[in-house]
Amino acid sequence: MYDAVVLGSNALRKLPQERRRAIVLVTDGGETTSVSKFDDARRAAIRSGTLLYSIIIRPVKNENGRNTAGEHALITITDSTGGAFFILDDLQQLDTMFDRINRELRTQYLLGYYPNPPPKPGSTRHVEVTVKSGDLVRYRREYFTSAMPR
């Protein structure tokens, strides 16, 4: 699972800067064989500017016998990137979920800002966005500044 996020993020990072990047990860949430670790996956996704959409298919609805640690790790990575996390109980829901993700990717807003004072090169920045209406807003909560000053 972590290797998939790292490999996908690294491949998307090579795209031109103006291209939107998204990974749709369909998994049972179990992490068993990755060489990459949790923080490797989280940092790779953030660094590449990728939106991670995680779809967990739960073959076992009861938490006993499920790898909930993998689910919680995916929630954290997904939340950091500004993507979305979905839990499905049935494979029949997959088409509907892909339609929802497709619609969401087509109806996004881009918000930019210039931090003052400018951050140090190579630093980690955290962002918090609130709206007066109280609506749910998903956004990239963390980013890394360029290692080289512009």
pLDDT per residue over 135-149, tens digit each?
878 888 888 887 654
pLDDT of residue 61: 67
Structural domains of the chain, count: 1
Residue 10 lies in a domain: yes
Mean per-residue pLDDT for 20-26?
A: 94
Q: Is residue 136 part of a domain?
A: no
Q: Is residue 71 part of a domain?
A: yes
pTM score over 0.75? yes
Instruction: Answer yes or no: is 140 within a domain.
Output: no
CATH of the domain at 24: 3.40.50.410
φ, ψ (nearest 5 deg) of residue 42: -60, -50
Percent of the chain with pLDDT over 90: 45
**Residue 97: what residue type?**
M
Give the integer Cα–Cα distance in Å for 144 and 20: 17
Residue-range definition of the domain harbouring residue 19: 2-112
User: What confidence category does residue 64 fall into, taking pLDDT thresholds of 50, 70 and 90?
Assistant: low
Is residue 50 in a domain? yes
75 falls within a domain: yes
Residue 106 forms part of a structural domain: yes
Q: Which amino acid is at 129?
A: V
- Look at residue 83 and tell me if it is in a domain: yes
Block residue for tokens 């938490």: 63
